[in-house]
Amino acid sequence: MTKRAGRRGLWTAAVLAAGLGALALVAPPLTPGTIKSAPVTVITTTTPPAPVVPLTPEELSAQVVPTIVTITAPAGFTTTAGTGIVLSPDGVVLTNHHVISGASDVTAVSMSNGLIYDAEILGYDSVSDLAVLRLAGATDLPVAVVGKSAEATRGDAVTAIGNAEGGGVPVPAPGVITNLGVTVNTRNVSDGSRNQLKGLIEVDADIRPGDSGGPLVNAVGELIGVSSAGNAVTDRTETSPAPQSYAIPIDTALPIVEQVLGGRSSETVRVGPTPVLGVAVKDHAEMPAGAEVVAVSFDSPAERVGLTKGAVITEFGGSRIASSADLNAAMSSRRPGDTVAVTWVDATGQPGTGSLVLDEGPPR
């Protein structure tokens, strides 16, 4: 393991190229012939649990590093590098949505065996910034020891480990929890897109681009969060702000993993391949209410059916469309290859209708 250098701007962490013994009240049994008198209570004390012994940095790395993968996700003219957490021996991996957003294909390198795997995108939730992958052909991979983020408290020692700066070598970033339940607005360094994430774990660990999707573990190496954002700076000096980074609690992430593995799409969770209509839309401020087309992709289903810039989509697949959110919700239940009827009003006020077949595209 190598230590982090002094080079480290709030971004999402993808880069371009972690008691007292109980009291038992026990009543003695009655033996034959015993006259029951006033109840007798015997107070006994269970043996206190062994104290939790934090792992050394070397022990923690030895436990956690084999359970992660480094991820490479080409998207157009750029390539995003990130990290993933292995959740099953056959290669189910949890990472951030922004790591794989727009990717034409995804590969991952296991830190346990050094093998390169093609990664299938099983599903994702762009709002929660989570994605679930499966590594093709993977077997017998070490898996993360999952803890409970609900048990985390301020001041707890934590460590983030990930593909910092996309170097392909896992680097640990130790720190402590400084706050819980935090809401932040993030910016993806690869495409400039913004998102609001809620309920996050705030830490003072120096999480950097490339760490996205990697594990945040507690002092005994248990997974309690998914590293997602931070205030990394290029050159950290004495006048630079203190490291301030954020992770999605694992208690929040696992239900989304289970939903994806269960094949249950919803308004925010996409399961399986991503369907493409081929338009960018915004809410239409005037009548008719609908999703106004602001751009149409070349040779897309939208262009082929006759949609043009300025058109307002008012119906999609039989559903009334009153906003861009309505169109996104209608798309969430669709799959590539579906045939969908569309109704719109063009920029000149003329009505239009048609039937199109959705293409398959990268995750968005």
DSSP code, position 66:
G
- Respond yes or no: is residue 212 known to be catalytic: yes
SS3 call for 197? strand
State how far Cα 287 lies from the chain centre: 37
Residue tagged active-site, from 212, 228, 245, 324 = 212
Block residue for tokens 């239900």: 255
Contact 14, 98 (CB under 8 A): yes
Amino acid at 310: G
Contact 344, 311 (CB under 8 A): yes
Q: Could you confirm whether 129 is annotated as catalytic?
A: yes
Distance CA 174, CA 357 (A): 50
Is residue 97 annotated as a catalytic residue, yes or no?
A: no
* Cβ proximity of 228 and 186 under 8 Å: yes
CB neighbour burial string for 64-73, b if at least 16 within 10 angstroms, e if fewer:
bbbbbbbbbb
Angle at 188 between CA 143 and CA 303, to 5 degrees: 105
Catalytic residue among 129, 206, 211, 359: 129
Question: Cβ(147)–Cβ(97) under 8 Å?
Answer: no
Cβ-in-10-Å burial (0-12, 13-18, 19+) of 291 comes to: buried
CB 179 within 8 A of CB 247: no
Locus of tokens 């393991």:
1
* Distance of alpha carbon 8 from alpha carbon 231, whole angstroms: 9
Q: Please give the Cα distance from 196 to 198 (Å, whole number).
A: 7
E strand or H helix at 63: helix 57-64
Q: Which of 98, 110, 206, 245 is the catalytic position?
A: 98
Active site residues: 98, 129, 212
